[in-house]
Amino acid sequence: LFSWFREMLDSRPVSQGGEHGVEVFGYADITRILADTKTFSSETARKFNEPHFELDRFNEGNLVTSDPPRHRQLRTVISQVFTPRAVANLSERIELITGTLLDKVADQDSFDLVDALAFPLPITVIADVLGLPIEDEPMFRVWGDAIGALDAATVPLDLLEGEVGPALHEMGEYFLRHVRDRRQNPRDDVMSRLANATIEGEPLTDGEMIGVTGLTMFAGHATTMSLICTAVILLDQHPEALAEVRANRDLVPGALEEVLRMYPPFPRLVRVTTTETEIGGHPVAADELVTPWIGAANRDATKFPDPDRFDIHRNTGGHLVFGQGIHFCLGAPLARLEGRIALNMLLDRYSKISVDSARGVEWENPHQIICPRRLPVRASR
Ligand code: HEM
């Protein structure tokens, strides 16, 4: 994927005709697209999908696929309960969860980092924040995969009629049960605050509730999991950087930003044109699917000199990993906090932790999400 990004950045920074519509690779073109929400709409789901009850119900409250003014209303609901301050207060809880997960593999000198930490950490934290029982985790896994499938602009009908539709249905009913419960018996959890939120004085509809809660639950899962894994992989590949980070933990946040720049969990976003326009001098018709490859923009040499070099001291400001503009990721502070705690705790517990390539690292489809499915590591104390 990364060599293809390089090839496209060098030869065809705007390209048309493939399954992803108009594909855009350059930093300047992509930031222009993300800023111009009038011409480049996020309402791809409504535009490209056949009507489908479960999908449409979820999308009613899915702010990622909404435009203003609706987007602003939905975003206000989540951002009121999910403030950076509320997230900062989660440190202790996240440390406790990370410690408990690592205790479970304390007697093993080789384990799968995905199973041991990267998968369960973000799902346990967010279930905890929302106030949902972690015993429901097996179901969360199935629903998380279903939501992952919605990331494509067009969700094939046979997928919806196969696994994804029923999973969305179960997930919707599950969240609605919790919402009704919290409306009657509010507790001190984010689910209660979401359930009792209003838009212009009105309670949220069922669909809006499902989208808002489902997105809060799952948007940060595979992505944070990816950050934890790719941090371990990149530092393992760069022993000098690892030694520096070990010796000076103030370098952890910068190192994680560089990990994100190089291995963005979501390599691409989707938009649809509302009128005829142009991108980088190329004419583009109305109603066209547009795919900004943010993973490529993060390796555009006009923005990041010597972009394929992993440099924990580089200025990563302006990277597009969390998007940009009105849809900028609401979970960025939480993802960064979990990444910092996970990496610091791994470095505290182990004097050496390295990827065990012989036991086979497996990746998800990198065109959708850059994230290992399996990451065997060797660890010594
Ligand atoms: C939006 C990436 C973690 C919740 C986004 C967008 C990106 C992104 C690229 C913008 C989508 C667009 O413009 O079309 C990431 C990455 C993460 C991460 C790389 C981890 C490393 C999280 C977490 C949560 C979360 C932990 C919540 C618990 C959201 C929400 C939105 C969003 C609610 C929608 C914002 C909007 O449309 O206004 N994320 N995310 N994300 N993210 Fe994240």
What the block records as the tokens of 268 is: 């691409």
Q: Look up the ipTM and state it.
A: 0.98
Total domains in the chain come to 1
CA 316 – CA 368 distance, rounded (Å): 23
Give residue 36's pLDDT: 98
pLDDT by residue (tens digit) across 97-135? 999 999 999 999 999 999 999 999 999 999 998 999 999
Residue % of the chain over a pLDDT of 90: 73
- Among protein residues, the one with the nearest Cα to ligand 1's atom 38 is 327
Quick check: CB of 291 below 6 Å from ligand 1?
no
What is the mean pLDDT of the segment spanning 163-171?
A: 88
Is the pLDDT at 151 greater than 90? The verdict is no
CA 8 – CA 13 distance, rounded (Å): 5
Cα of 26 vs centre of ligand 1, distance in Å, is 21
Choose one of 36, 208, 218, 329 to mutate for the ligand 1 pocket test, by most ligand atoms within 8 angstroms of C-beta. Answer: 329
pLDDT by residue (tens digit) across 35-68? 999 999 999 887 887 788 888 888 888 999 999 9
Cα dist from 14 to 32, 34, 290, 293, whole Å? 13, 15, 10, 10
Domain of 127, CATH number, reads 1.10.630.10
Cα of 330 vs centre of ligand 1, distance in Å, is 6
Structural domain range at position 357: 2-380
Cα of 82 vs centre of ligand 1, distance in Å, is 13
Which positions ≥6 away from 336 have C-beta within 8 Å? 253, 256
CA 38 – CA 42 distance, rounded (Å): 9
Amino acid of residue 1: L
Quick check: CB of 324 below 6 Å from ligand 1?
no
pLDDT by residue (tens digit) across 260-289? 999 999 999 999 999 999 999 999 999 999
pTM: 0.94
The mean predicted confidence, pLDDT, of the chain is 92
Residue 78 CA: nearest ligand 1 atom is 33
Quickly tell me which residue has 């996020």 as its tokens. Answer: 42
Cα of 89 vs centre of ligand 1, distance in Å, is 20
